[in-house]
Amino acid sequence: MKKFIKVTLIIFFILLLATLVGLGFYISSIYINARAMKLNEDILSSPYISVQVYDKENKPLKEDNEINRNFAKIDELSADTKNAFISIEDKSFYSHHGVNYKRIAKAMLNNIKSRSLKEGASTITQQLVKNTQLTSEKTFERKIKEVALAQKIEAKYSKDEILQNYLNIIYFGNNCYGIENAANYYFSKHAKELNLEESAMLAGLIKSPAKYSPIRNKENCINRRNLVLSEMYKDEVISTEDYNKAKNSPLNLSINNERKNKLNSYSQASIDEAEMILGLPARQIALKGYKIYTYQNHDKQEALENAINSQNLETDSAGIVINNSNHSIEAYIGDSIFKILDAKRQPGSCIKPILVYAPALNEDIIYPCSQILDEKTSISNYTPKNVGNVYRGYVSAREALSKSINIPAVKVLSYLGIDKGKAYAENMGITFDEKDDSYTLALGGMTYGVNLQQLAGAYSTFANNGYYAAPKFVSFITDKNNRLVYINKPKAQQVLREDCAYLITDMLRTCATSGTAKKLASLNMDIASKTGTVGKSNSKENLDAWNISYTKEQTCGIWIGNLDNTPINYAGGNQPTEIVKQYFASVKDNSTFTTPESIVEKNIDGTELSENHRIVLANNYIPERYTQKEIFSIFNLPSDVSNKFTSMPKTDFNSKVENNKAIISFNAKDYVTYNFKANDKVLKSISNKNGEQIVTIDLLTPKQTITIDYFYTLSPEINNTDKINFIKTNKTNISKDKWFI
């Protein structure tokens, strides 16, 4: 037994030794090959590069695709600026030779504990290598190459040259590569003019430009900035007085408006998408010579820009155009000092078709003509309100959606179920936070919201017969040798039945002709539309205004608001709808929605609809004036057929005597004629009246019989007769209860 254990241990140690030797050879070979690699010195010393982006006709986009053009010289930067980056990124920068082995060992231990490659322990030199010579992938092999090339750079360049190159290529968020561009964007000044707290903010930002954004995550940004200041204080490069003053100062941003158009251009949106596709930052895409081919349609881009510019907006805004057939984005423009597609906004009533009405149609819960009681209501401790606190009684689902009435939307979501509604919306590209679980969702109340690309993409599902695929900017990408490295192949998934997609489209057509988007009615084209307006809580001011409209061919979405939540004076049915109108008026779109075979037109009983709010099919005896044509899915047809006009229903007549007058009250129907007769002479006639009616007739004899003949106004052959006997009296204001029918 002991011999067996001894042999096993010997074998184990031999295998371990062999593994270590093999690993050593592997690491050595990678290191040696990396040391033999030629440095791309042009990239190190010249940060001026651009990404090549092309439109659908393979012509270069006429937009600024430069990564950065401005260069900051190291000898012009303040000591505070240089020290801020060194203190937080690489304290031993001036003493190591490219690699900090102690930090690497510590990071390796932490990575082993966390079973990840989360910590990299890169020096400034290594970060320069990663951003200019290698990809950003987190692999063991790349890390070895990074070490080898960092040592090569240290041997060739001075520390100040390395720091200068590093500061001119590092990414600061919001399309800012290099400290000069970052200083210009965030503070409207040159890098050499940065003060201590500004330098500390920028140094803290580079670890995660999104997480520590001074625009979107101010508290995170201040905490990170103060950490940088704390490290500088520990390193004794700033005084106690300067430290305390800087850490207590506000951010004091001064965003440069000159960069906002570039930030929200079609070209930039395409580059952002390519970054996700290739897993590379824009700088690496430019350095490696990748070419991005997009779906941009020059004519539609121009039409969209002209439509938005026609309104002379004084707010942030954005517009997008999606080709429904291939799920491509053919035009996009935004106007803001922030990147609009990175922001999420409350969708308001624009969420109703996606989350509420289309799913309810697909689940056979409602018809477009279904009657919903618009009234003050509370559901699960939620008390929604209509605009202006106006409540309309029973309205159809079509009217509720087209006029954007709130209460019916909340009620329909309660019939459908929140989870089911969210599931449909998620299948159309809408994302929710885990806290999004209340009926406020029916009115667009989300924790974070949606962006314009997501919302317009969801609406394109309706135009695509119920199929959804995420809309994309990028068609294909090639490398510097024109070899194809990516091609977009949309895989549309069916979310709604074709019939339900058509029904929601038909309801939104009504919105475009007589609803909140009725400005579009003059276009004289087959278009569906929905507006949305998001109000500020406990205020009459608005924060967001939307219009999403679509034809069979294309979807156009418009958003107006302010990403800093400054109130706006716009509403969805006004400027956004006017922009959509201007856009479609300038592009040729004669497409029409085709009625699928699964849609049928049926006559329903209009009297039953108005009286009892029920959807029942009309029988063959109901006169045409009392029927109503509606469209239905063949998979969800009304099962009941009306019995109206086949026999005369009994009517209750209430009667009394006052001052020798017979007073008869009853509920009239406008399709019934009521003749009140005595001795075959018509004394009173009531027709085309709805609701309670009171008939007064003088009693001429001590005992008088009044005969009531009532019949369908257009079908007198179907009738009924009632008789009421009255006793004449000289007493006044006394009802005679000995009457009979």
The two domains 42-261 and 654-727 share their CATH topology (first three levels equal): no
Report d(CA 572, CA 582) in Å as an integer: 15
More confident residue, 595 or 38: 595
pLDDT of residue 702: 78
More confident residue, 43 or 150: 150
Torsion of CA 713, 719, 725, 730, to 10 degrees: 0
Q: What is the sign, positive or negative, of the torsion defined by CA atoms of 22, 27, 30, 35?
A: negative
pLDDT of residue 7: 65
Strand 528-535 with 661-668, pairing: unpaired
pLDDT of residue 738: 34
State whether residue 439 is helix, strand or coil: helix
pLDDT of residue 107: 61
pLDDT tens digits, residue range 275-288?
A: 999 998 888 888 88
Buried b (16+ CB within 10 A) or exposed e, 535-571: beeeeeebbbbbbbbbbbbbbbbbbbbbbeeeebebb
pLDDT tens digits, residue range 424-474?
A: 999 999 999 999 999 999 999 999 999 999 999 999 999 999 999 999 999
pLDDT-wise least confident of 68-77, 174-183, 712-721: 712-721
Share of the chain above pLDDT 70, in %: 87
Which pLDDT band holds residue 734 (cuts at 50, 70, 90)? very low
Phi, psi for 342 (deg, rounded to 5): -85, -10
28 has a pLDDT exceeding 80: no
More confident residue, 194 or 14: 194
pLDDT of residue 155: 81
For domain 42-261, the CATH architecture is: Orthogonal Bundle (1.10)
Q: Which residues contact 179 (CB under 8 A, 6 or more apart)?
A: 72, 77, 81, 167, 168, 170, 172, 191, 202
Share of the chain above pLDDT 90, in %: 60
The helix-helix angle for 124-132 and 79-89 (nearest 10°) equals 90
Q: Tell which residue, 222, 193, 200, 126, has the closest CA to residue 166.
A: 126
pLDDT-wise least confident of 6-15, 228-237, 687-696: 6-15
Report d(CA 665, CA 692) in Å as an integer: 7
Which pLDDT band holds residue 271 (cuts at 50, 70, 90)? very high
- H or E element at residue 530: strand 528-535
Provide the phi-psi class of 323: left if phi over 0, else alpha when psi is between -120 and 50, else beta.
Answer: beta
Rg of the chain, C-alpha, whole Å: 37
DSSP code of 385? -
225 has a pLDDT exceeding 60: yes
Domain boundaries, the chain: 1-36, 42-261, 320-586, 599-633, 654-727
For domain 654-727, the CATH architecture is: Sandwich (2.60)
pLDDT tens digits, residue range 502-539?
A: 999 999 999 999 999 999 999 999 999 999 999 987 77
Q: Tell which residue, 496, 705, 713, has the closest CA to residue 626.
A: 713
- Distance (Å) of CA 473 to CA 199, 497, 557: 36, 27, 15
Task: Give the CA count within 13 Å in the CB-facing half-sphere of 737.
Answer: 0
- Distance (Å) of CA 355 to CA 360, 383, 446, 656: 9, 19, 12, 55
pLDDT of residue 18: 64
Q: What is the sign, positive or negative, of the torsion defined by CA atoms of 125, 128, 132, 136?
A: positive
End-to-end Cα, the chain, rounded Å: 113
35 has a pLDDT exceeding 60: no
pLDDT-wise least confident of 75-84, 170-179, 548-557, 661-670: 170-179
Average pLDDT, the chain: 87
111 has a pLDDT exceeding 60: no
Q: Tell which residue, 508, 512, 503, 534, has the closest CA to residue 580.
A: 512
Report d(CA 492, CA 503) in Å as an integer: 20
| Residue 292, burial from CB neighbour count under 10 angstroms (0-12, 13-18, 19+) | buried
- Assign domain 320-586 one CATH number from 3.90.220.20, 3.40.710.10, 1.20.1440.230, 3.40.1190.10: 3.40.710.10
552 has a pLDDT exceeding 60: yes
